[in-house]
Structure formats: structure tokens, C-alpha cells
Structure 1
Amino acid sequence: MARTMISIALICLVSALLLALRPNAWVKATATAEYAATQLASDATNTEHISWQLAKDKALLRTIIWDRRGSRLYPPETAMVPTTYNVSEDTIERIAHFQAQVRQGDWQVFDEEAGHMLFCQSTPAVCLIYDQSALEEVLDLLPGALGANTWDLAAIVALLVFGLPAGTYGVWVWQRKSGDDASRLRINADRYTALYGGREVPLTQRDLKLLQAPDSRNGGVVTKDELYDAAWGREYMPNSRTLDQHVITLRRKLDPDKTHPVLIETVRGVGYKLVQ
């Protein structure tokens, strides 16, 4: 569970970071449009060259260019231009009105049904009509990336909102589990050691037998007689305190700083049990 939550959190956080570092689709589109506008404006009087540039750029459908005084340079009002994409004079007037309001590069939907977009800028005074799907393909963007003028902020926030709590919970579960594991007794009979509290404790043969007997009961009580039989055999006095003293010594050996709850618990009048 902890690993799963931490893995999910890492995926969310890495995804959010990649989104934050990724160039925004509109930044890329604007940079491309500004470059095209500058190139076209430099040849505003060469109608054949502009038509050639439009034909070369599969995403760019049409351009309208004005001079500094607001007079239209392209398409010229009195001459035909070799292009298959015609724009009516009424539409050009509407575009000119939008262009006059922009200070820097700005976008708006030109023909939603056809998937056409309009880009206009003030200096040089140029407007471009793009095919959205073709522009996304040229810029190597996902389909629909230019469908709305939004940043990836919403996705980043959503990933952080989910990822941070998931990671916090996963770390908490992992720390809790690690703490539980540290407070559990692990007996290695082959090496005559016990792992407890993050420490490997060396055991004598008698220590080992005194721990194995209650450990095999899974929390059940082991009588003193059973422990004597396991660790000493039957060579003991009925009222001997040897077992009690050995248990005290074993407790100190396992937890010398007394930082953990009592592991070997005394059951009065009966014997001992392991609590973990």
C-alpha cells in the first residue's frame, strides 16, 4: 500500500513538473505566427512571393497586411492575387477592426466550424488565418492543444492536489510500518541472533530457547515449567529464581535503552508471553 501510494505520488509530481517545464502550446504557436508575420510583412508589395509563402506553409491559409498609416498592402484592393483562399471585403474589415485593438500578438476563433484561427499583431500590422489542425501538426502538438487559450495550470494543480496527499499518506504508512517492523522480534536460530529495534542482538543457546518457546505460541502464555524444560531441562530447583533473573537479563540485552514497550511480559503465577 505504502509503495503504491508513493509511486502514484511520484508519477503525479513528475508529470506536474514536466507540464510546468513544457513550452505552452500557445507560446509556440505565437512565436511561429510572429515569425511568419515578420517575413510576410517584409515582402508586402510582392504579391507573388507572398502567395508562394502561403502555398509553402500548409497551416497558413491567408494573410492581411497594412502599412504604418493603416492602408492595406495585401491583398491589394485593385489587383487579383494567386490564392485559392478568398476573404470578402466585409470579413477583411472585421479583421482590421480586431487588428486595430491588439497591442501584441493575439488570437481569436475565425471560423469555429472549419477549425480556422486568426492571429493579429500591431507591429508590423499583420493578420494571419491558420488551420488549427494543420498548425498543431506543424508544431508537433497534441490534437486539440490549441482548442482553447489556456495554460496547463489546471492540470498541474490537479496533479499536485492528488499527488501531495498521496505521497504524504504513503510516507506515513511506510514510516508506521517501518516502526512496527522495528518493534517486532525476528529470531535467526541459525546465527543465534535476534533482530529487535533495528539492532542485531547476539544470543546464547539458552537465550534462543527462552525466546523460541513463547514466539511459537503467537502471543500465548508459556509456563515457567515449560520454559525451564526448554532452556535447562529438568535440572532446576522448584523455587529457583534462575528463570526470572535470566528473563530480566534477556530484556536488557534486547532493549538496553528501554525505548520500546515490554517485549517479554510477565504473567503472574503462570509464566511469560511475547507481546508484539
Structure 2
Amino acid sequence: MALFLLICLVLTARLWSQDDPWDVASLRAIEDSATYAQQVGRADQIGFSLGQQPFIANVLIWDQEGTLLYPTSDGFTPIRYELTALRIKEIETSRASAERPFWAPFDHRATKLLTCLHEANICLIYRRAELEQELGLESDALAKVTEPDRTALLAVMSLAVVITGAALLWGLRPARPAPAAFELIADQFIARRGDLTVELTARDVAILDVLMKRDGAVVTKDDLYNVGWGRDFMPNSRALDQHMINLRQKLDPDKSRPHLIHTVRGIGYRLEV
């Protein structure tokens, strides 16, 4: 029933959707939700799909009774980005309190966007810049969450921002310090984070350079081995993992700054500045 309703929404949205970037994004969200709705109960397949769609950071799926089906706390659930129990509860609360599907910023810089489709009991977390690129939109086209102007499309898609839901989402989230600016100066073998200057090795520079060039996308462990150790090196997961631990320590010696290098379990690493 939910999948049938999603298909109806897709067909109806295609009739109305034109050039508004939120129309395009909403249509894509419905199509992605339909895809993941067919994979319920197959955590490995969901994990594989996430790996093939770098513009989707994560997906959450509930059953009709409100029980979380994905991600789960047990079994093989290869989620690409960790979601804490508190964060999942925030999303669930926002979804339940909203009267209609909505878009909302998922982080304080709106680098990620949250959208929930009640009919399918699915929420998707998109990486905004990569979603814009995937949809062929201009950079920052989705940077500001606003309500679409056309009332006809609003009646069909109901994509206005839910102020109370967004406020609740932010209210439950603990305050985070503003991220320190990050700059890699490769020719000097240093990096700067705010007022912190870090001396780097040639391997540090090579790894950070490829991470930065991916602009937040995941870099696989094999690729990092290639740039850091060379293609003839026999991969040893502990060598790379230990190097990343040391590199994180250099870039945040007093553990007072937001995470810069994120582990993507089973795949590799990504840099978020």
C-alpha cells in the first residue's frame, strides 16, 4: 500500500514539477524512498545501496507500529554514518510531530538535509552539495530551506518546512562549538585549524589532499593506501587505521574541535570541513 501510494505521488509530482530546485529534490526523495521501501528487511542490500549513492548519508525506516526497522542495533547493519540513539529519537520525534512531509537542515550548516515521507514511514538524510550535483542543480540551490511558491504543488507534495518540527529537532540537540576553519598548505607541509598550526609528514599531506579533493565524499581505504603507501604496498588495515588515529591527534591535540576526519565503517574515510 505504501509503495503504491509512493508511485502515485511520483506520477503526480512529475506533472507539477518544473524548475524549482525543491520540486526536483522532492521528486528524487520520493523515488529514493520507493527504492528503499522495497529493501526493508535486507540490511545488507540497504547498506550496498547507500554505498552506491554518496549523496544519501543515511536512511531510517519504521514499520506501521513505529518500530525502527533500519538501522538496527543488532545484526549486520552497514550504515555509512553513525547515528546515535539520541539523534534517531530526534528524527523520530520530528517525523511524528509533522503534519506533512518536510525538508529541514540536519546540521547547523545545512550541509545535510533531512526529509521524511510519512506514507512510507521513511526518512532520508541527504548530503546537500552532492544532491545538488546529482540533480544537476546550481551550487547552493538547496542551501536555504524555503516553502515552494506554487500552492498546487504544495497540495500534492506538502513540502513546506515544518517550523515546530525543526525547532524541536534543534532544541533536543546539544550545543556544538563552531567548527574551526581548516587549511592545508601542502608545499609547506603544514595545516591550520583556526589558531592551531600542525606540522605534517609527506604521507599526511598526500592523504589530506585526496580527502579534501573529494569534497566530503568517501575515499576508500584502497585509494588511501595508493596515495599514502603506493600501489605496490600490501594493504594492512591497521597501518592505515593507526595512521588516521595519529593524524586526528595532530589535528585536534586537546580534543576541543569538531571531528574533521570521519570513519565510514567498512569503506574508508571522509573529510568534513
Q: TM-score range by the shorter chain?
A: 0.3 to 0.5
Q: Which has the higher contact order (CA 8 A, sep 6+)?
A: 1
Q: Provide TM-score, normalisation by structure 2.
A: 0.46
Bigger Rg, which one:
1
Q: Provide TM-score, normalisation by structure 1.
A: 0.45
